[in-house]
Amino acid sequence: MDTRRVEIQFRHLPPSDAIKEAVRRFCTRLSGLPCRVESCSVRLASERAEPLCGGPYFVHVEVQMQGRELAIDQASDVDVHVALLNALRDMLEMIRAAGSKRGCAA
């Protein structure tokens, strides 16, 4: 997947290079799937307006693939990285399941 089609947003969190890199690695993995993924949007948010106060953290991932949109929400009160990785793992499973139904299983 073309990483120019990746959008990452932070709400009540300082932008993080580590998080941006994790999302880019995830999108690179999508390139290896038979189903064509057109774009990916990841939004990370903290419930609190103070960026360094901790969780809970929320992650929303949207993937556009072949005229279809998949979305997933993940919450964690432990760590923003845990919430992100769980959401990306769940999205990969969702993409694979959608692909197998459409005849382009991963």
For the chain, the structural domain boundaries read: 3-102
Q: What is the pTM of this model?
A: 0.82
Identify which of 60, 54, 55 has the alpha carbon closest to the alpha carbon of residue 40: 60
Cα distance between residue 11 and residue 97, in whole Å:
30
CATH architecture type of domain 3-102? 2-Layer Sandwich (3.30)
What is the identity of the amino acid at 102?
R
Per residue, the 3-state secondary structure of 51-68, as one string, reads CCCCCCEEEEEEEEECCE
- Percentage of residues in the chain with pLDDT exceeding 70? 85
- Range of lowest pLDDT (44-48, 49-53, 67-71, 99-103): 49-53
